Amino acid sequence: MLSMLMVCATLTVIDGDTVKCDGQKLRLLGQGIVDVRGIDTPELRTWKCEKERRLARIARARLKQLLAGEQVRIVAEGFDKTPDKRPLVNIYLSDGREVGSILLKEGFAREWRPHHKVNWCD
């Protein structure tokens, strides 16, 4: 698939690895490779333990902080395999850093791979 630049009038943080661009959900790829690897953050809606819920709030807050007041560049690299077929995106800050990679490096996200579920309760 070819990369595609996306333009958003509004960009809203849903959780640590999901944003909405003008109402459409986008999943952060973190400079990964579609269907091979990406990033995962704790879930806000389907958390399995109190630790995951707490970590999810922290990851969402960090993503909001990174995006606050920034002019960003959003590049779609493909689509996930959910029924919604969410675009998998890299979001670049004005200084060139990619936000998913920042979350991974800072420990707010973990690497995602197919058929490997991250346990945030450990």
In the block, which residue shows the tokens 């960090």?
A: 62
For residue range 75-116, what is the model confidence (pLDDT) as tens digits?
A: 999 998 889 899 999 999 999 999 999 999 999 999 999 888
Is 0.85 topped by the overall pTM? yes
Residues in the chain: 122
DSSP 8-state code for residue 86: P
For residue range 8-42, what is the model confidence (pLDDT) as tens digits?
A: 999 999 999 999 999 999 999 999 888 899 999 99
Q: Which domains does the chain have, with CATH numbers?
A: 4-112 (2.40.50.90)
3-state secondary structure of 51: helix
Give the alpha-carbon dihedral of 104, 42, 14, 31, to 10 degrees: 30
In the block, which residue shows the tokens 């973190």?
A: 30
- Average pLDDT over the chain, rounded to an integer: 93
